Amino acid sequence: MIMHKTYAIALLSLSLITACQSGSTNQSTASNNAPATIPSSSPIAPADPSVKHFDEALYALAYPEVNEQVKAGKFASPLAHYQAVGQSGKDANGEAIAGFFMGTGSNDTISGFGHHPHISGVAFEIVADKGGELPIRPKTLGQGEVDRLVGQPGSEDEFIVGSLITPANPKSAPFYVGKGDADYAQIDNFKPGEDTILLAGKPEDYNLQPQDKTLRISTKSGDLVAIVQGVDRLTVGDVVADYGIFILK
């Protein structure tokens, strides 16, 4: 995570994304020394709806020390660590610790909590045998889904609407492509200048069209990817070619 702001851990530590700092200093938070006892990558489903999409596996992969503290009995789970420490803490590089809130293969409404939530309507899985610092890939590409991704006041939300290049995912790709206007992410409560949107590819691969106090993000072929509520323009931030992604803010 050394490239710009660590978006690549945008999806993971990037901490899995604000992501990609121009160096490799943040890479330590998602090191290859992560304990082997990474929990299942499926989002947990506790009774509290505010945390049901928190992905413990991605959190533990991004911050290996979490599993060590859980094994030592300091916390009952990665979620407990995030609730007690992570949601308001900083990592060794002074970056806000990221939380990962992931969807399913169906339509979802997802919000996060904490200083730096990463919010995706598509779930990611860890492919341990691929190795590397970020052995993740999307379980689907969101085709046929309509997901609502909701930002929170006081949080620097990162909304993920595309995959990134990793050892487990050799090509980045946008989500919600294939059904035209029938599949997309609706992004609510976006705060320009604070929040970010991660997309696959390059800025020139997309059209951004203001319409009725929203911003429609579509591929050049006209396939709708996302509708951002309450804004009529966004600017391009970091373009991280090594991960096949860029940021809108």
- Give the pLDDT confidence of 128-162 residue by residue, as tens digits: 888 788 899 999 999 999 999 999 999 999 999 99
Give the per-residue pLDDT at 92.
87
Closest by CA position to 62, among listed 17, 20, 102, 104: 17
173 against 31, higher pLDDT: 173
Specify if 10 maps to a domain. no
DSSP assignment letter at 79: H
In the predicted model, what is the mean pLDDT of the chain?
85
Asked if the model's pLDDT at residue 53 lies above 60, the reply is yes
Residue 240 C-alpha from the chain's centroid: 15
Mean pLDDT of 98-112: 97
**pLDDT band at 2, cuts 50/70/90?**
very low
Its pTM stands at 0.84
φ and ψ at 126, to 5 degrees?
-95, 130
Rg (CA), the chain: 16
Give the per-residue pLDDT at 76.
98
Question: What SS3 state is found at 120?
Answer: strand
- Angstrom CA distances, 133 to 12, 62, 174, 184, 200, stand at 9, 9, 22, 29, 19
Domain of 172, in residue numbers: 30-248
Mean pLDDT of 209-227: 98
Specify if 141 maps to a domain. yes
- Extended beta strands in 104-143, E state: 109-111, 116-120, 124-126, 136-138
Please tell me the total count of domains within the chain: 1
Q: Flag the least confident range among 18-32, 76-90, 135-149, 217-231.
A: 18-32
Q: Is 210:173 a contact under the CB 8 Å cutoff?
A: no
Give the per-residue pLDDT at 130.
84
Place of tokens 């096949």: 244
Specify if 225 maps to a domain. yes
Specify if 7 maps to a domain. no
Specify if 42 maps to a domain. yes
Asked if the model's pLDDT at residue 174 lies above 90, the reply is yes
Give the per-residue pLDDT at 50.
63
The DSSP line for 177-245 is -SSGGGSEEEEES--TTT-EEEEES-GGGEEEEEETTEEEEEETT--EEEEEET-S---EEEEEGGGTE
Q: Which tokens belong to 231?
A: 């804004």
Specify if 2 maps to a domain. no
Give the per-residue pLDDT at 135.
95
Give the per-residue pLDDT at 42.
38
Specify if 37 maps to a domain. yes
Specify if 149 maps to a domain. yes
10 Å Cβ neighbour count for 76? 11
Asked if the model's pLDDT at residue 12 lies above 70, the reply is no
Mean pLDDT of 159-174: 97
Give the per-residue pLDDT at 211.
97
Q: Which tokens belong to 130?
A: 């691929």
